[in-house]
Amino acid sequence: MTVPPDRARFAARTSWRGGVASPGQRAVPEETAIAFSYNRFAYAVMMASPADLEDFAVGFSLAEGVAVRREDIEDIEIVPAENGIEVRMWLNETRIEAFTKRRRYLTGPSGCGLCGLESLTQAMRPPKFVASDFHIAAPDLRAAIGSLHGLQPLNAQTRAVHAAAFWQPDQGIVAVREDVGRHNALDKLTGALARLGADASRGAILLTSRVSVEMVQKASVAGAPVVVAISAPTALALRIAEQAGITVVAIARDDGFEVFTRADRIIFEYPAHVA
């Protein structure tokens, strides 16, 4: 699969292999400043891959709590600028009122950002509880992990980006989003699922990164009951996952995986066939 040119560029490099230096080129992922605004009010600037920006806008807004549902965002405009890309969003009347109050509350010294006890409380806000009776057989989960390998065109070209995917037993991988940032990839996936109207409670999120607390918080916003990652989780991520009712599967490889929370959702043996 060919990657659109805005997502990657070829950079000149000198390779030293086996004691021999040789000139050449390598594909490297593009990274761009993405500025989010709501109803013309600036909110945040993120460094991200310049692709799937409408998905990114929706997923970021849901993760931040600026929007509660996809319909809270009435319009999205992507505006290329000299030093990056502006993503302009317009909220409905109810959400812009809440956003304006929040913006006044956060106003402070320009070098401060989110600081102080109130900001720490916001950063560690209780996760949304994911209530789902979804279950998955261990062999199917291993197959899901394996199916992701061929669906990362940007990483296949650059070996430098993360992916987040959503998998369902009856459909396989429904959506995949890639980005230089693992959080961005998951925000893009969340936005894609919201725009598709997909039921995140009936499947698993697959990550090509470690499981940090932010990734668990974002998964809870998406409503996914199972998070699977190729790397390990942090202790805090596991504590938050327990609170959120999320199954964390990590260190996922071709030969298996490890389940850290809510193992009751994983069926380790198929039930015996009844004639």
User: What are the per-10-residue average pLDDT scores of the chain (275 residues)?
Assistant: 66 82 87 92 92 97 94 96 92 92 52 45 80 94 91 94 96 97 97 97 96 94 97 92 95 90 88 53
What is the distance of C-alpha 85 from the center of its chain? 20
The pLDDT value recorded for residue 248 is 94
Is 46 part of a structural domain of the chain? yes
- The catalytically annotated residue of 11, 45, 112, 124 is 112
Is 11 part of a structural domain of the chain? no
Q: Are residues 116 and 141 in the same domain?
A: no
Looking at the DSSP assignment, which residues form a beta bridge with residue 77? 88
- Last-in-domain residue among 123, 149, 172: 123
The pLDDT value recorded for residue 11 is 86
Range of the domain at 46: 32-123
The pLDDT value recorded for residue 121 is 64
Q: Are residues 157 and 193 in the same domain?
A: yes
Backbone angles phi, psi at 179, to 5 degrees: -165, 160
Is 260 part of a structural domain of the chain? yes
Q: Are residues 253 and 167 in the same domain?
A: yes
Based on the residue annotation, tell me whether 112 is a catalytic residue of this protein: yes
Q: Are residues 261 and 143 in the same domain?
A: yes
Instruction: Report the domain count for the chain.
Output: 2
The pLDDT value recorded for residue 19 is 79
- Last-in-domain residue among 123, 149, 165: 123
- Considering only CA atoms, give the Rg of the chain: 20
